[in-house]
Structure 1
Amino acid sequence: MKIGKHCAICRNVDIRSPYRIEIGEHCTVNKRVVLDGRGGVKIGKNVDIAQEVNIWSLQHDYNSPTYSTNSGIVVIEDYVWLASRVTVLPGVTIGRGAVIGTCSVVTKDIPPMSIAVGNPAKIIGRRDDCLEYELGHRGWFK
Structure 2
Amino acid sequence: MQISIGANVNIGGHVQIYTLEHDPNALDFGTKGGEVVVGDRAYIATRATILPGVRIGEGAVVAAGAVVTRDVDPYVIVGGVPARPIGERRRDIAYELGYHLPFQ
TM-score of the superposed pair, with normalisation by structure 2: 0.94
* Residue number in structure 1 paired with 2:42: 80
Distance 1:56 1:46 in 2: 21
Confirm whether residue 120 of structure 1 aligns to residue 82 of structure 2: yes
- Other-structure match for 1:90: 52
1:130 Cα deviation after fit: 1.6
Give the gaps of 5 or more residues in structure 2: none
Residue in 1 that maps onto 2:20: 58
Which one has a larger percent helix, Structure 1 or Structure 2?
Answer: 1
Q: What is the identity, as a one-letter code, of the residue corresponding to 2:64?
A: T
Q: How many residues were matched structurally?
A: 103
RMSD of the TM alignment (CA)? 1.3
Question: Structure 1: which 5+ runs fail to align?
Answer: 1-38
Taking structure 1 as the reference length, the TM-score comes to 0.69
Offset of residue 104 of structure 1: 0.2
Alpha-carbon separation, structure 2, partners of 1:69 and 1:82: 25
CA distance in 1 between partners of 2:98 and 2:31 (Å): 35
Write out aligned runs for 1:1-142 (5 A): 39-138=1-100, 141=104
State how far apart, in whole Å, the 1-side matches of 2:68 and 2:99 are: 28
Which structure would you say has the larger RCO, counting Cα contacts within 8 Å and 6 or more residues apart?
A: 2
CA distance in 2, matches of 1:50, 1:138: 13
**Residue 65 of structure 1, CA deviation:** 1.4
